[in-house]
Structure 1
Amino acid sequence: MGYKDLVVYDTDKKVKEAVAARFKINACDTVTKALDETDVVMICTPADSHVPLALLALKKKNAAFIEKPLSTSMKGVEKLRKSGGKRVMVGFNVRFHPMVLAIKNLIGKMGTIYSAHMEYAYFLPDARKGTYASGYAAKKGQGGGVILDHLHEIDYGISLFGRVRSVFGSAQTISKLDIQTEDTADVVLGFKRGFACSLHLDYLQKAYSRSVKIVTKKGIIEGNFATGILKVTEYGKKVTTKKFQKGFNETYKHELRHFIGCLKKRARPAIDVGEATHSLKVALAIKRSVAEEKVIAL
């Protein structure tokens, strides 16, 4: 990104020193000292600490970029929304993937949406080799489990389809993975525009899977992030395909450039606290639906 005047703080001294050495930046002894030396802070901590740290950052006159999810509960979220304004963004990088942007453009041309299906699945021990059991994904109180950890799918679904009006979910811990959280979830999202989207999430598939399928009046849109292929079937016309990047590295750069650009222009970022609050409410409603075994209206 070209920025060199950086500092790092982590509660784990070894992690902090390793990051400082790798990127040749200064390590701070306390979070307060780190905030005193910065103008913009990136909060990449377990989700239960996001809101308190963001509020502290704002108090110290810092802008804040918060990794998803915004939080694990609604505690403090409204206060952050009111005080954050244009100076807080939540990191949902999948929205910036060129395939998602292409699908969003196509939706407006394909007529009424009849249904949709989304999936995100991988084998957790392979994705986080050697650390999966000690990381946040394995811990219930830190935002782990597929419902919150895979919140990207809900968020980019909202960016494509609009607001969610109801949810019904089923989630389990099927495997013998060393985790405290659900490893599988199946959800029906009822969107305000009048159709349902089924969503499958899991930590179990050893063959990485990430995709979206949208059935419309004029045809079918199928995006496969694992292969990078977008397939569009327009009824009565030729099937078209387009190849996109497989990975997501560039999307992290895009979202940070967007945030920094908004700060410079004093513009509101695409995913401010208010926008991120809706996806969090959806995830929490899914958890409630699982616990109460019923449809939850938002």
Structure 2
Amino acid sequence: MNFLIYGLGSIGRRHAGILSEKEGNKIYACRSGKSVSNMPEKFPFTEIDPSDNLADYEIDGALITNPTSLHVESALRIAEYGIPMFIEKPLGKDLNDIKRLQDITEKKNIPVLMGYNFLHHSGIKLIKKLIKENKIGKVISAKSQFGTYMPDWHKNEDYKKSYASNADMGGGVVLTSIHEQNYLTDFFGEVKEVKAMKTGGNVLGIKAEEGAEILMRHEDGTVSNIHLNFYQKPYYRNCQVIGTEGTIYWDFLFPEVKILYKDKTEIIKTGRGAFELLDESYALQMHHFTEVIKGNTKPAADLNRGIKDLETALEILKQIN
């Protein structure tokens, strides 16, 4: 299969590396050359000009992995050719041209997969399964936390120059770390009400929000709480779901999910190691994308999901700013 990657920053290289491992896959790339990363690519690819006629390359699927502010513009370009596409989360930094993209993809029946790799993570998938099986009774509330120290993300890069550090490029903790909002919505349904406050102030000196506390009421009545920040040491990511009969607890750093009851605790192993499971989630996501391209399955998170998540995130940003 032939794949086109729009943007070869760290996430673009990760996806391209996975796809290049399958024999017969060919990688084309459009890039600005302005990435703050100086890491060499570890896979073969052919660079093409963004103005080229993409029909000449017989592209089977396109991946949009450039800065968030360029996602929709790039997607519209891909949509001209009717090419199935993968759009890294979030969909964009605002709603400009979103309706146009939606209309074109629906008219041409172009499948779109949003890049929420945690939907393919064994821990998150197990939590969803346990909720559906009523393992903790009726769910009342949930809490997810993600804390990371941004300067440690990529040691060879100036973090203040990255898109995640600049609101104008679609950065900031709310959009960059939209995974928690997405999977909680996947668990409990659409967000019907949201409240949010900014935290952190200006710890890192970036041009975007560094932290947020978010409350969401979902359509099934569950109230979820999300804490996000870019200034925490050490790295921390977890999810807690509280029900009438017990509590489900997952910590990203441990390959297991716990079910805590009044008199006992069940521990379900999900794999060998935290970062192996993370790598697996990305690999499963790319496999899923190839199956979407072939028409064998529907996107786990389609364009409409990306739009609704973005609308909620923009309401959060409106409240904290």
Give the TM-score normalised by the residue count of structure 2.
0.84
Matched, 1:26 2:56: no
Q: What is the DSSP-based 3-state SS (H/G/I as helix, E as strand, rest coil) of the residue aligned with 1:232?
A: strand
Shift of 1:173: 4.6
Q: Percent identity?
A: 26
Q: Which residue of 2 aligns with 1:117?
A: 143
- In 2, Cα distance between equivalents of 1:123 and 1:142: 20
Q: Which residue of 2 aligns with 1:194?
A: 221
Gaps of 5+ in 1: 292-298
Q: How does 1:70-89 map to 2 (within 5 A)?
A: 70-84=91-105, 85-89=109-113
Q: Which moved more, 1:222-231 or 1:117-126?
A: 222-231
Judge conservation of contact 2:145–2:236 (CA < 8 Å) in 1.
Answer: yes
| Residue type at the aligned position of 1:132 | Y
Q: Which residue of 2 aligns with 1:296?
A: none
Matched, 1:53 2:77: no
Q: Which residue of 2 aligns with 1:257?
A: 287
User: Alignment RMSD, CA only?
Assistant: 2.1
Distance change >3 Å, CA 161–CA 45, structure 1 → 2: same
Gaps of 5+ in 2: 1-18
| Residue type at the aligned position of 1:32 | S
Shift of 1:15: 8.3
- In 1, Cα distance between equivalents of 2:195 and 2:34: 42
Q: Which residue of 1 aligns with 2:317?
A: 287
Matched, 1:132 2:152: no
Q: What is the DSSP-based 3-state SS (H/G/I as helix, E as strand, rest coil) of the residue aligned with 2:232?
A: coil
Distance change >3 Å, CA 254–CA 49, structure 1 → 2: same
- In 2, Cα distance between equivalents of 1:15 and 1:185: 26
- In 2, Cα distance between equivalents of 1:43 and 1:131: 23
* Deviations 1:122-173 (CA, angstroms, capped at 9, x unpaired): 1000113233111111111112111001001101111111111011001145
Shift of 1:8: 1.2
| Residue type at the aligned position of 2:306 | A
Query: Which residue of 302, 314, 320 corresponds with 1:272?
Result: 302
Q: Which residue of 2 aligns with 1:294?
A: none
- In 2, Cα distance between equivalents of 1:56 and 1:250: 30
Matched, 1:93 2:117: yes
| Residue type at the aligned position of 1:23 | F
Shift of 1:234: 3.0
Matched, 1:217 2:237: no
Shift of 1:271: 0.9
Where do 4+ consecutive residues of structure 1 move more than 6 Å? 13-18
Shift of 1:259: 1.6
Judge conservation of contact 2:204–2:231 (CA < 8 Å) in 1.
Answer: no
Query: Number of residue pairs matched?
Result: 288
- In 1, Cα distance between equivalents of 2:229 and 2:186: 22
Q: What is the DSSP-based 3-state SS (H/G/I as helix, E as strand, rest coil) of the residue aligned with 2:126?
A: helix
Shift of 1:256: 1.4
